């Protein structure tokens, strides 16, 4: 649903494999300039919260 909505809005999506460690997720999100993230599990949320300070576009 989120994928479809993002594409409908003209946004780009950046899929991230659920098995990636937090440091690799941080690299992808920094490099992509991500402004928002949607997760499907609590485990993914924990990884994102762990690296939140490392993603400049989230800390305005």
Residues 16-56 pLDDT 10s: 999 999 999 999 988 988 888 899 999 999 999 999 887 77
pLDDT at 59 over 70: no
Cβ-proximal residues to 39 (8 Å cutoff; 6+ apart), any chain: 45, 48
This prediction's pTM:
0.76
pLDDT at 60 over 70: no
Token look-up 């989120």 returns 2
Token look-up 């490392």 returns 54
Domain locations in the chain as residue ranges: 15-58
Q: Give one word for 34, left, alpha or beta, with left for phi > 0 and alpha for psi -120 to 50.
A: beta
Q: What is the largest CA-CA distance in the chain?
A: 30
């Amino acid at each position: 649903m989120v994928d479809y909505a993002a594409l409908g809005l003209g946004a780009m999506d950046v899929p991230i494999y659920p098995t990636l460690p937090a440091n690799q997720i941080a690299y992808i999100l920094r490099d992509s300039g991500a402004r928002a993230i949607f997760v499907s599990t609590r485990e993914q949320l924990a990884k994102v919260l762990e690296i939140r300070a490392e993603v400049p576009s989230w800390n305005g």
